[in-house]
Amino acid sequence: MNILIKLLVNGIIAVPGLWWSGTSLTFAVLTSIVVSLIAYALGDALILPKTNNTFATTADFIMVFALFWISSYVFAQPYHLPGILLTAFVITVAEYFFHSYLQHHGVHHSKHPG
């Protein structure tokens, strides 16, 4: 259930953001799905339980921005770097609240939420 929430929220933000940044709609949809799955596996399932919300959110920003930028470059998509940066930032804001949701619904942490 949590992964579906993440895919939906990130998709609502990432698809228009990437498309506005100059990429194709198909690329925006596929990249949104792949980056969301990677971010869930690394950020939400691995980093968040071992650290706190602030650290996991910062890691998510770096990871999402890097993955959007690298995938745009590798797949020769036209892009505007400020658009990708803004899209990653808005996703990061949503991630902060998603992490809070996870913390209140059963994700066990070794440290107090940040």
Residue range 91-107, pLDDT digits in tens: 999 999 999 999 998 66
pTM of the full structure: 0.88
Q: What is the dihedral of CA 6, 40, 69, 84, to 10 degrees?
A: 30
At residue 80 the predicted structure's pLDDT band, cuts being 50, 70 and 90, is very high
The pair of three-digit structure tokens given for residue 8, joined into one six-digit string = 């939906």
Unique residue bearing structure tokens 């440290």: 111
The residue among 61, 60, 62, 69 whose CA lies nearest residue 22 is 69
Residue range 24-76, pLDDT digits in tens: 999 999 999 999 999 999 999 999 999 999 999 999 999 999 999 999 999 99
Domain boundaries, the chain: 3-101
